[in-house]
Each structure stands twice: as structure tokens, then as C-alpha cells.
Copies of this chain bind each other. A is one copy, B any other.
Amino acid sequence: MNAKVRTAVRTLEAFEAFGRSQKPLTLSELARAIGVPVSSCHGLVATLRNRGYIYSVGNNRRVYPTRRLLDVAEAIVRNDPLLEFVEPVLTRLRDDTGETVILGTREGDGVVYLEVVEGLHTIRYSAKPGEIKPLHSSAIGKVVLASLDEGALAKTLARIALERITPATLADEDALRRDLEDGRRRGFFVTRGENVADVMGMAAPAAPGGQALAVALAGPIERMDRSFDAHAERLLVAARELSGLGAD
């Protein structure tokens, strides 16, 4: 169930490494950066060069990606079936609350972030699209769990380990079920430092085009608490707006 195809992962990790390093790398630097033997990295780099995804910079042996990956990524996003419609709603929610806004959905036994609009404060919850979070300790994950019927919920809870990630994590099934019940009643779900210390998340279900997603607001507990009720109300408005979008 975990990542399977090693080379696929490595290929993407190589690009991520360039994104982090912010400069051309030699073969061995790249190998070190992605934790791969130099000899294996050698073949990968040769392949990517052959394909025009990376090129050798200058006269030395360093390589760097061409714009090709950006080009592919832009073509993909240009035609994204979803995000075009939802982006304005998320940005308004961010502007009204000042906190980071996230759109996410279930992916396997986790949650994947589809879109992140970062908050306006210097201290803010920071995340990237594509990040994976646990079902039991993220606000969006609780939305997902709460949407399951009893049978599916029991099976899912049995399968996923309720790993204690912080002292506040609800690692106990009964506590988690009570928390889900609270959320169902309120219409939104909350985490208080259960996944990252000091972070509060609140999330509500949203179904743009009929697709089951969730929208979340996240920031430092202290600041979020001060505006808890206003933020919650604003979040629910955004969730309703999203659900009205895109007949798809």
C-alpha cells in the first residue's frame, strides 16, 4: 500500500531536490540529496538528459532542469477541471480571515491537499499542494471520516493506526468518535494541535461539482481561538459557496 515504484519516486525527488537546492548540482550532490547511490543516480540523470528534462550547465559537470517540467505542469494546471472555479472562493476566505486556506480530499487512507492559499500573517500555517496528512489527526481528515457510514468508518478505523503524532492527538477510538460526533452537530471539524503542535485547523465538507472535498482554515491556536466563532461562520459560508459551483 505504500509507495511502490521506486524509480518513479526518485524521479520526482530529483526534481524536488533541484527545487530545494536552488542551484545546479553534480551527479554526486544530487545522489546525496535524494539518498540514492551514485551509480543508480547516474542512469537516472542520463535518462532525464536524453529526454530534455535536465541539461548540463556551463562547462563543469553540474546539471539543472530545463523549463520542460514547468511547461508540462502549466499545461496540466491550465486545464484543471476544478481549481479555476474554486480559487476565488478560497482566496476570499483567506482575505477575510487572514489565515491559511486549504482544499483537500481523501486519497487512500490519507488526505491530500489540492490547493493551498497561504495566510497573510508572518506566522502562519504553511503547506503545499500534494502534501499528505493523516485521516485521524487533520481537520480535513475528520470531515472525511465523519462522512462515512458506520460500516465504512469501523473498517477504516480498524485499518489505520491512530498514531499519536503530538500529545494532543486523539489516538483513542472512542475519543475520536466523540469528536466526530461533535463536529457533525456543529457542521465543522476542529483539530487543536493534534497533528502539529500549536496549530488549530477547522474544516467543513464542500462538494463543488458534486465531488466530495473539504475546505479548511488553519493557523496558530492562540490566534484562531480569538476569532473562533467568526472564522467558523465564515468557513461555513465558503463551504456553501463551493458546493454551489461547477455543475461538471
Q: Which residues of A contact B (CB under 8 A)?
A: 2-12, 15-16, 18-20, 22-24, 43-44, 46-53, 55-59, 64-83, 105, 107-108, 112-115, 128-132, 209-212, 248
A sample of 12 cross-chain residue pairs with beta-carbon separation below 8 angstroms, ordered by A number, consists of A8-B11, A9-B47, A19-B75, A23-B79, A52-B107, A58-B210, A65-B73, A66-B112, A67-B77, A68-B129, A70-B73, A71-B129
Q: How far is the CA of A209 from the CA of B64 in the complex (A)?
A: 15
A69 touches B66 (CB 8 A): no
B76 touches A70 (CB 8 A): yes
User: Given known contacts A3-B47, A65-B73, A68-B129, what 16 new A-B pairs fall within 8 Å (CB)?
Assistant: A5-B7, A5-B44, A7-B7, A7-B11, A19-B75, A22-B79, A23-B81, A24-B81, A50-B108, A50-B132, A52-B112, A55-B107, A56-B107, A57-B211, A70-B77, A73-B73
**Nearest Cβ distance between residue A130 and chain B, in whole angstroms?**
3
Shortest beta-carbon contacts, A-B, top 8:
A68-B130, A19-B75, A52-B130, A67-B129, A22-B79, A7-B7, A70-B73, A73-B73
Known: A11-B8, A81-B23, A107-B56. A3 touches B67 (CB 8 A): no
B67 touches A114 (CB 8 A): yes
Residue of B nearest to A60 (CB): B211
Our pick among B18, B20, B71, B80 for the contact of A128 (Cβ within 8 Å) is B71
Q: How far is the CA of A4 from the CA of B129 in the complex (A)?
A: 30
B112 touches A19 (CB 8 A): no
Our pick among B72, B115, B132 for the contact of A67 (Cβ within 8 Å) is B115
A43 touches B4 (CB 8 A): yes
Q: How far is the CA of A44 from the CA of B76 in the complex (A)?
A: 18
B131 touches A52 (CB 8 A): yes
Chain B residues closer than 8 Å to A128, beta-carbon distance: 68, 71
Known: A5-B44, A49-B108. A15 touches B76 (CB 8 A): yes
B50 touches A3 (CB 8 A): yes
Chain B residues closer than 8 Å to A75, beta-carbon distance: 19-20, 22
A114 touches B72 (CB 8 A): no
